[in-house]
């Protein structure tokens, strides 16, 4: 799609890297004897090095196949349309499992979702499955699945013919929209073009004949989150599990709220981290804490001192002034020998980098600081080697098409625009832009592109669930949030906690997106205790981080 919101781009770019660091604080749970499982998995030998998702047989049962590094993969057939199961075509859901440790008491499977919307759960498990088993406990299988529209699942929200076609089209997209130039009408036209491509590919032909194909019924009409929540229910049923154990972050907390609202009696161990309120997401109050997180760039740099922060000045105000002086006076800057070809660093590009960096300040603020100093001093060797600058000139390789599950897709909008549709109302967009700009002048120009995309989206979900997002769940939900989150503010976590009676709320005194991505022995121990025996945090519980941006390790751990 032309616009990729920071919520999507930031998560995919650095999620696994930061989670690996965050889990350094984990304390292991004692292993116990492995109990027999309810369902015996059937394994088929396969050459892991040549693993191809589309060559993996799909079936009504979950049949596991080795797919590298001790993990197992499967493709399961589920009804595309749950309102017409008897004659509906099938969705093909991709699953990837990190098996529980063989010397631990088996406790079931935990389904995980990495956010987005549009993030791949199979990729999440492929990259950090062992770390996730440490987080939830050695007795659990950890299973990532690709929601409808994403990854190796079918139908896939892929509207362009090739990756190079999409990338060429996307390069013409304004990075940030601005009411003072033509970027808004241009972006509207681009999103309209993409929406029409997607309607042709995913919208169906208007018929729902028995034994018809997914393409005829229109796969895009069934990518809504309620359908995915029912997919999760069917997956655990096929695993022989009565309740869903779940760990979801960011958009994954929305999916969690859908499931807990639709199937409250099926909630087991259930952790939602970086909570976006499903009653507000994604259009309202998302950026109320973004500026506060951005201010942390200046304050943590000052706290760390000149030895650890290359932007250091004698006061926080001077650091802020230096940052914006670099962005406004040192750009545009030519980088002729960047890794993927000549590039130009602009103020808009640096501002987009801020929006990505606010997600994970511990890892991203230092990198961003180094880029700013390189721009300030015209350090071409640093800039040429930077992944950030390389991204400014994306390569379009028409001779080496990636596998379909690795291609860029339009799932972010196929999902979000199905769940939270918008009328094509220019006045409403203008009001939204003003509101987002009031909340965060820095983030709003990059954030509102998703609103424009959904204004132009042309596929409606056949059956959209609009709430209420609440319920008396069979097991208490564990709600987790940083005190400052750039896109899922703490107020959202408080509201969700209040709507699910008996839930527990743990606050981490840290800034950034996703609490478990900030190293904190206190937070990790609380999550582990909950998965081990259902222990909830005490009312008013607050955990401190063990690492701060620029500063490094704190608290003696």
Higher pLDDT, 386 or 543: 543
Q: What is the pLDDT of residues 165-202, one digit of tens each?
A: 998 888 766 668 888 888 999 999 999 999 999 999 99
The mean pLDDT of the chain is: 89
Q: What is the pLDDT of residue 397?
A: 65
For β-strands 504-511 and 542-543, DSSP reports them as parallel
Instruction: Give per-residue burial for 143-164: e unless 16+ CB within 10 Å, then b.
Output: bbbbbbbbbbbbbbbbbbeebb
Write down the pLDDT at residue 199. 98
pTM of the model: 0.92
What's the token pair of residue 410?
């339009």
Residue 273 CB: number of other CB atoms within 10 A? 28
Percent of the chain with pLDDT over 70: 88
CA 401 distance to own-chain centroid = 24
pLDDT digits (tens, 9 = 90+) for 466-481: 999 999 999 999 999 9
Taking the CB of residue 40, how many other CB atoms lie within 10 A of it? 8
Q: Output the pLDDT for position 25.
A: 35
Read off the tokens for 422.
Answer: 């918008």
- pLDDT tens-place string over residues 207-266: 999 989 999 999 999 999 999 999 999 999 999 999 999 999 999 999 999 999 999 999
When pLDDT is cut at 50, 70 and 90, the band that residue 18 belongs to is very low
What pLDDT shows up at residue 307?
Answer: 97
- 3-class state of residue 288 by DSSP: coil
Instruction: Name the pLDDT band for 310 (thresholds 50, 70, 90).
Output: very high
Look at residue 37 and tell me whether its pLDDT is greater than 60: no
Q: Quote the CA–CA distance of 304 and 346 in Å, as a whole number.
A: 28
Q: What tens digit of pLDDT does each residue of 79-116 get?
A: 999 999 999 999 999 999 999 987 889 999 999 999 99
| Burial of 219 from C-beta contacts in 10 A (0-12 / 13-18 / 19+) | buried
CA–CA gap between residue 12 and residue 115 (Å, rounded): 9
Which domains are present in the chain?
Answer: 7-31+96-140+221-284+465-553 (3.40.50.1820)
Report which DSSP code applies to 149.
B
Decide: residue 459, CB within 10 A, 0-12 exposed, 13-18 middle, 19+ buried: buried
Distance CA 501, CA 477 (A): 9
**Above 70 in pLDDT, residue 327?**
yes
The pLDDT score that the predictor gives to residue 309 is 98
Helix (H, G, I), strand (E, B) or coil at 332: coil
**pLDDT exceeds cutoff 70 at 4:** no
CA 308 to chain centre: 30
- What's the angle, vertex CA 545, arms to CA 542 and CA 549, rounded to 5? 140
Percent with pLDDT over 90 in the chain = 79
Convert 431-460 into a string of H (helix), E (strand) and C (coil). HHHHHHHHHCCCCHHHHCHHHHHHHHCCCC
- Mean pLDDT of the region 129-152: 96
Is the pLDDT at 77 greater than 50? The verdict is yes
Sign of CA dihedral 208, 211, 214, 215: negative
**Residue 1 pLDDT greater than 50, yes or no:** no
402-446 pLDDT, tens digit per residue, is: 999 999 999 999 999 999 999 999 999 999 999 999 999 999 999
If pLDDT is split at 50, 70 and 90, which confidence band does 387 have? Answer: confident
């Amino acid at each position: 799609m032309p616009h990729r919101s920071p919520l999507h781009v930031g998560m995919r770019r650095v999620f696994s890297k930061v989670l690996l660091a965050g889990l350094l604080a984990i304390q292991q749970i004692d292993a116990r004897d492995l109990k027999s499982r309810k369902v015996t998995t059937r394994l088929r030998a396969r050459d892991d090095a040549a693993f191809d998702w589309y060559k993996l047989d799909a079936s009504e049962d979950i049949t596991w196949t080795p797919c590298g590094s001790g993990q197992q993969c499967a493709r399961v057939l589920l009804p595309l349309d749950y309102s017409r199961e008897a004659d509906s075509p099938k969705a093909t859901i991709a699953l990837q499992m990190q098996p529980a440790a063989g010397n631990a008491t088996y406790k079931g499977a935990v389904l995980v979702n990495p956010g987005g919307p549009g993030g791949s759960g199979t990729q999440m498990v492929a990259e950090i499955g062992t770390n996730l088993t440490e987080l939830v406990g050695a007795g659990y299988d950890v299973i990532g699945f690709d929601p409808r529209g994403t990854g190796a699942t079918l139908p896939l929200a892929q509207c362009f013919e090739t990756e190079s076609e999409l990338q060429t089209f996307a390069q013409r997209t304004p990075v940030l929209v601005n009411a003072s130039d033509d970027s808004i009408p241009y972006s509207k036209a681009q999103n309209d073009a993409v929406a029409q491509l997607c309607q042709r590919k995913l919208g169906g032909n208007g018929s729902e004949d028995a034994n018809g194909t997914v393409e005829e019924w229109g796969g895009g009409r069934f990518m809504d989150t309620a359908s995915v929540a029912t997919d999760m229910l069917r997956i655990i049923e096929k695993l022989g599990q009565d309740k869903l154990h779940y760990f979801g972050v960011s958009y994954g907390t929305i999916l969690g709220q859908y499931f807990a609202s639709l199937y409250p009696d099926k909630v087991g161990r259930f952790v939602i981290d970086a909570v976006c309120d499903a009653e507000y997401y994604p259009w309202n109050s998302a950026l109320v804490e973004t500026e506060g997180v951005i201010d942390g760039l200046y304050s943590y740099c000052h706290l760390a001192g000149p030895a650890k922060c290359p932007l250091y000045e004698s006061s926080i105000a001077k650091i802020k002034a230096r940052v914006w002086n670099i962005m406004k006076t040192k750009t545009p800057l030519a980088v002729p020998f960047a890794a993927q070809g000549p590039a130009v660093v602009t103020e808009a590009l640096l501002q987009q980098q801020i929006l990505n960096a606010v997600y994970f300040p511990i890892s991203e603020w230092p990198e961003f600081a180094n880029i700013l100093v390189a721009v300030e001093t015209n350090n071409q060797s640093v800039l040429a080697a930077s992944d950030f600058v390389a991204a400014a000139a994306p390569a379009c390789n028409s001779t080496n098409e990636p596998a379909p599950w690795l291609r860029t897709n339009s799932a972010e909008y196929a999902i979000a625009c199905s769940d939270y549709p918008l009328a094509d109302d220019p006045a409403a967009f203008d009001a939204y832009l003003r509101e987002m700009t009031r909340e965060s002048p820095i983030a709003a120009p990059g954030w509102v592109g998703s609103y424009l995309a959904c204004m132009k989206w042309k596929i409606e979900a056949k059956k959209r669930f609009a709430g209420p997002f609440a319920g008396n769940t069979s097991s208490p939900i564990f709600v987790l949030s940083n005190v400052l989150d750039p896109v899922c503010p703490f107020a959202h976590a408080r509201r969700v906690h209040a709507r699910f009676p008996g839930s527990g709320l743990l606050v981490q005194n840290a800034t950034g997106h996703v609490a478990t991505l900030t190293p904190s022995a206190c937070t990790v121990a609380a999550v582990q205790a909950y998965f081990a025996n259902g222990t909830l945090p005490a009312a008013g519980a607050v955990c401190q981080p063990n690492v701060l941006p620029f500063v490094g390790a704190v608290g003696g751990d």
